[in-house]
Structure formats: structure tokens, C-alpha cells
């Protein structure tokens, strides 16, 4: 059975997080993880300053299923199944030693799968004290009044054939990233209640919601709903578009798995992250996938540990499923957030023309019909209508030209470029120097005021609501009152 339990499917990072959960549940304010490379004899240690265990408590802790999952737990307890310490450890190592000190008394017990396998009829032997030669690993505990060390040795699932110290270092990086994410709320801020050190280096939190970033697009008000198993709290976020972030911020914002994978709902239980994104099987008709266009949508969802059964929390603390009764509510909130995020993605962080109450004169119209969409130039756009009005005998040619432009919109190319670059192509003078915008503005302005006799004040007002100049209000306001006659 112990061998079978090794296959629960933990990653090393998730297994270590399960060990640290225990430390947090027993009031630890500091957890130190040490990774020591020594080939097949490498070892990992988790040391916490929680309240520790006495002999009998440690003996119980080493038992599988030592607590009934139906039991009510302390509000801040991150445990549920009475399994994690054992299942997480065995998923990575064959020897698990736990030493704990409480009220000055130290106890130490050890599971050793190799020793058990060597004597199949010997019963469930739990050994006392560290393995021979490993005594020094437990030295830190002798200086503590209370606390616990969890020691993993014979890490056969980590140090496999051909595994090198480089791989071990990569593993440490992955654990660091995972911890920065799953414990970010516990280790964040000056009054953080927990400090996690990885080989002596503090883990820096990764906040999926970029709280406090100046370019943050949108935060919803906090929504709460009462369920039979406690209160569920949701806060929806739309993150800033790439254009509003520095390359370093964009890189960091993507998180361990990158922007597309990290979109969606973040489920926290007692402020510890269980699920980092994805749409939890929600959707209208078909379940939503993680798609590029929605990558700026991230939703914080908090559940209490009284909701474990209803949310189908698993032993690894890496899945959660919303109860059926909450799905319509969550779907509504998520749909609204996704739509907002899609607009920010599509319009690269600028307000979408024609949205948000202001009516902007658009240059393009989309005609939807049964057979699909067509893109048409809007003849009401002030610049287009001015050209048509002043075209004279050229009018048929100008119309023919517009039709050619409409019929050759490079939609396939745009679509491919969007997919390949994970970004919509640049439009609306994005990234162009202001002179280029001003040059075009002046030409149009001169025609409005000079040829058509519109007052300079009205002309500016019109330009301020004309695509794409609605994003350049400063440049519009800066146009001279008397335009140059040649339009330059
Ligand atoms: N670092 C620790 N310090 C003090 N007590 C601990 C520590 N780790 C584990 N324990 C005790 O051992 C018990 C068993 O831990 P284990 O992780 O196996 O189960 P759990 O945390 O109760 O539930 P889950 O299976 O959901 O993690 C805990 O309930 C706790 O009482
Ligand atoms: Mg646990």
C-alpha cells in the first residue's frame, strides 16, 4: 500500500507545498527549505518554527489517515485528509524522517520503504531516530524550543538515471516559482505572517493580480455569496495590456506558466492557492478553454476550509470544482471579466471605439450576415465623407478604390500574425512618433476649416471623437486656430 500511495501524481513543488501547509497550520512564522545535492544521496529538508509535536502527536502524524476528513478543522488549518505528510513525501522519496521539538522535548520517527521492503513480513515498522549517518541533518532542531524538521532522503523519484546537479538546480527554481505563487498572500507585504526561505534566500511573492499597478485596467467590486458550506468571495481583474508594461513587468506578469496558461480563476483556501487559473469547467454550452484573447482575465476566488467536500478538494490540494449551485453565478462574473479582457487585448489597452458611452466615428464597420462577416469602410467617417464630398469627377474612382480596399482586407494575414505573435497587429498610430499623427491631423483639419468652412473649434471637437484621433486628444487640442493653407 505504501508503494501504491507513491503514485498519487504530485510534482515535487506540489509535494513540498503540502509539507509547508502543515507548517503553516501549526503556526509557523518561518519555514526553511534546504536542498542538498549529493547524487543519489541528495536530501531535502523542511524546517519550521511551528509549535511542534510531542511523542504521541508525532506517532499519530506519521500514520496514514490519522485524522478523519469529516472532522471540523481549525479555521486556519490547511489540512483535511490526514495523509499529506506521508503521501507527499513518499511521492518523492523512500525515506521520511520527522523530528519535532515541543516544550524542550525532542522526538524523531522515520518511515523507510527500503527497510520495509527488505522484510515484507516484518509489519508496519516505524523506526525511531534518524537513519545511520543522517544524524547531522537534524542538528538545527537542537537549538529550537519548538519546531519540526521533515527530512527526505533516497529521493528515487527525483534523482533518476542521468539526473545532474543542473537538473537539481532547475528543480529548485521550479519550487521557488511555485511557492512564490501558491503562498503569495501569506508571504506578501511588510506585515506578512510567514517567511519562506529556500536555501537561505527568501521567496519573493508573485501576485497574479498586479495589485496596485498604475496601468491596471479593471478590478471588480468584491462579490460574496453564502453557500451551505460557508462564504465564497470573488474579485475579478483585467490586467494591463502588454503595451502598458515594461518588458520586465510583462515577463514577470506571465507567471510560472505564461500569460495564456495563467488566465482564469485562482481558487484560494485559507489564502493558500489551490488552483492557478483555468476556467473550472465553466462556459456557455461548451467549457471555456484558455485562449490568447482572454489572457488578461484573472479572478480571485476565496473559499473557507469548511467547503472542502463541496468543492471536491483533493489530497494534493491542486484541484477544486465549483458546486453546481454556484456555477451560474460564477459563469456570469467570469463571462463579464472575459469580455472586458478580450476588448483590452483586441484594442491593445486603448478604449474600444464606440464603447464606454462616447460615440466615436469609426473608419470601419463590420457587417454580419449568415455567411459570415464583411469589413466595410464607413462613409460617414469625417475623413472619408470629406474625400467623397470633394472628389468631383473622381468620385467613381474613389469609390472603386474604397471597394478594392474593402475586398482585400488582409484578414488571413492579420489572423495568422495575431496567432503567431500572440498579439493583435499595430493600428491607430501605435508606436508612431507624434509628428506622424500631427501631419495627418493637420491635413484633415486644414480641409475642414479651409475648404469646408467649419469653425476651428467645431473641427477640433469633431476630430476628438474620430477614429483613430480619439486617442490623441492632446495633439488635437494643440492644433493651431488658423490652419496652414497647404495643410502642412
Ligand atoms: N510541521 C508540523 N508541525 C507540527 N505538526 C505537524 C507538522 N506536520 C504535520 N503535523 C501533524 O501531523 C498531522 C498529519 O499531517 P498530514 O499532512 O499527514 O495530514 P493533514 O495535514 O492533517 O491533512 P492533509 O492530508 O490534508 O494534509 C497534522 O494534522 C498535524 O497535526
Ligand atoms: Mg497536511
Taking only the tens place, the pLDDT of each residue in 25-62 is 999 999 999 999 999 999 999 999 999 999 999 999 99
pLDDT of 354: 53
Q: How much of the chain exceeds pLDDT 90, in percent?
A: 79
Q: Which phi and psi angles does 224 have, rounded to 5°?
A: -125, 150
Domain match, 188 and 277 both: no
Q: Which of 139, 170, 202 is the last residue of a domain?
A: 202
Quote the ligand 2 centre to 427 CA distance (angstroms).
52
pLDDT of 158: 97
Task: Annotate 72-106 with DSSP letters as a single string.
Answer: ---TT----SS-HHHHHHHTT-SEEEEEEEETTEE
Task: Please enumerate in sequence order all residues whose Cβ is within 8 A of that of 402, keeping only pairs 6 or more positions apart, or say none.
Answer: 377, 384
Domain match, 62 and 17 both: yes
Domain match, 51 and 181 both: yes
Residue 487's pLDDT band (cuts 50, 70, 90): very low
Name residue 375's beta-bridge partners: 366
Q: Which residues line ligand 1 (CB under 6 A)?
A: 18, 22-23, 26, 48, 50, 52-53, 61, 66-67, 79-86, 148, 315
Provide the mean pLDDT of the chain. Answer: 93
In Å, what is the CA distance from 302 to each residue of 76, 151, 234? 13, 32, 6
Domain match, 165 and 235 both: no
Q: Which of 318, 346, 374 is the last residue of a domain?
A: 346
Q: Which atom of ligand 1 is nearest to the CA of 82?
A: 19
Distance CA 316, CA 165 (A): 27
Residue 444, domain extent: 364-477
Return the closest-CA partner of residue 414 out of 406, 403, 426, 404: 426
Tell me: pLDDT of 356 over 60: no
Domain match, 416 and 290 both: no
Determine, yes or no, domain membership for 486. no
pLDDT of 285: 85
Determine, yes or no, domain membership for 48. yes
Distance CA 412, CA 415 (A): 5
Quote the ligand 1 centre to 87 CA distance (angstroms).
11
Probe residue for ligand 1, chosen from 20, 67, 69, 99 as the CB with the greatest number of ligand atoms within 8 Å? 67
Determine, yes or no, domain membership for 358. no
Probe residue for ligand 1, chosen from 61, 90, 107, 151 as the CB with the greatest number of ligand atoms within 8 Å? 61
Probe residue for ligand 1, chosen from 2, 25, 29, 54 as the CB with the greatest number of ligand atoms within 8 Å? 25
Quote the ligand 2 centre to 245 CA distance (angstroms).
39
Q: Which of 177, 202, 227 is the last residue of a domain?
A: 202
Number of domains in the chain: 3
Amino acid at each position: 500500500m505504501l508503494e501504491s500511495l507513491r503514485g498519487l501524481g504530485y510534482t515535487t513543488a506540489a509535494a513540498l507545498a503540502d509539507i509547508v501547509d502543515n507548517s503553516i497550520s501549526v503556526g509557523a512564522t518561518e519555514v526553511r527549505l534546504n536542498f542538498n545535492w549529493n547524487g543519489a544521496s541528495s536530501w531535502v529538508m523542511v524546517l519550521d518554527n511551528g509549535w511542534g509535536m510531542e511523542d504521541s502527536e508525532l506517532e499519530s502524524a506519521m500514520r496514514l489517515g490519522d485524522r478523519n476528513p469529516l472532522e471540523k478543522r481549525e479555521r486556519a488549518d490547511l489540512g483535511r485528509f490526514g495523509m499529506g505528510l506521508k503521501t507527499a513525501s513518499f511521492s518523492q522519496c523512500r525515506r521520511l524522517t520527522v523530528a519535532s521539538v515541543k516544550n524542550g522535548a525532542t522526538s524523531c520517527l522515520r518511515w523507510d520503504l527500503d527497510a520495509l521492503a527488505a522484510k515484507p513480513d516484518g509489519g508496519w515498522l516505524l523506526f525511531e531516530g534518524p537513519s545511520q549517518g543522517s544524524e547531522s541533518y537534524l542538528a538545527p532542531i537542537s537549538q529550537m524550543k519548538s519546531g519540526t524538521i521533515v527530512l527526505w532522503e533516497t529521493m528515487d523519484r527525483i534523482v533518476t538515471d542521468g539526473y545532474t546537479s543542473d537538473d537539481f538546480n532547475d528543480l529548485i527554481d521550479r519550487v521557488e516559482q511555485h511557492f512564490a505563487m501558491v503562498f503569495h498572500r501569506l508571504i506578501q507585504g511588510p506585515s506578512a505572517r510567514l517567511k519562506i526561505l529556500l536555501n537561505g534566500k527568501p521567496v519573493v511573492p508573485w501576485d497574479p493580480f498586479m495589485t496596485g499597478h498604475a496601468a491596471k485596467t479593471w478590478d471588480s467590486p468584491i462579490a460574496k455569496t453564502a453557500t451551505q458550506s460557508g462564504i465564497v468571495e470573488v474579485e475579478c481583474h483585467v490586467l494591463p495590456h502588454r503595451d502598458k508594461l515594461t518588458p520586465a513587468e510583462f515577463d514577470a506578469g506571465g507567471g510560472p506558466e505564461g500569460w495564456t496558461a495563467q488566465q482564469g480563476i485562482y481558487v484560494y483556501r485559507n489564502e493558500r492557492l489551490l488552483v492557478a487559473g483555468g476556467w473550472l469547467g465553466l462556459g456557455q454550452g461548451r467549457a471555456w478553454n484558455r485562449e490568447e484573447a482572454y489572457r488578461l482575465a484573472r479572478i480571485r476566488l476565496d473559499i473557507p476550509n469548511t467547503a472542502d467536500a463541496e468543492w471536491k478538494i483533493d489530497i494534493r490540494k491542486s484541484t477544486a470544482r465549483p458546486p453546481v449551485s454556484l456555477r451560474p453565478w460564477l459563469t456570469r462574473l467570469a463571462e463579464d471579466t472575459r469580455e472586458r479582457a478580450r476588448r483590452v487585448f483586441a484594442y491593445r489597452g486603448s478604449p474600444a471605439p464606440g464603447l464606454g458611452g462616447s460615440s466615436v466615428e469609426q473608419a470601419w464597420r463590420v457587417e454580419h450576415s449568415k455567411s459570415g462577416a464583411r469589413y466595410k469602410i464607413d462613409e460617414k467617417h469625417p475623413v472619408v465623407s470629406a474625400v467623397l464630398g470633394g472628389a468631383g469627377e473622381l468620385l467613381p474612382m474613389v469609390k472603386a478604390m474604397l471597394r478594392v480596399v474593402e475586398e482585400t482586407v488582409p484578414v488571413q494575414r492579420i489572423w495568422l500574425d495575431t496567432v503567431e505573435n500572440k498579439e493583435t497587429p499595430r493600428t491607430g498610430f501605435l508606436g508612431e512618433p507624434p509628428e506622424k499623427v500631427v501631419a495627418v491631423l493637420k491635413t484633415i483639419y486644414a480641409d475642414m476649416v479651409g475648404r469646408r468652412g467649419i469653425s476651428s473649434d467645431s473641427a477640433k471637437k469633431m476630430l476628438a471623437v474620430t477614429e483613430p484621433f480619439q486617442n490623441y486628444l492632446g495633439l488635437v487640442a494643440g492644433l493651431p486656430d488658423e490652419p496652414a493653407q497647404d495643410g502642412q
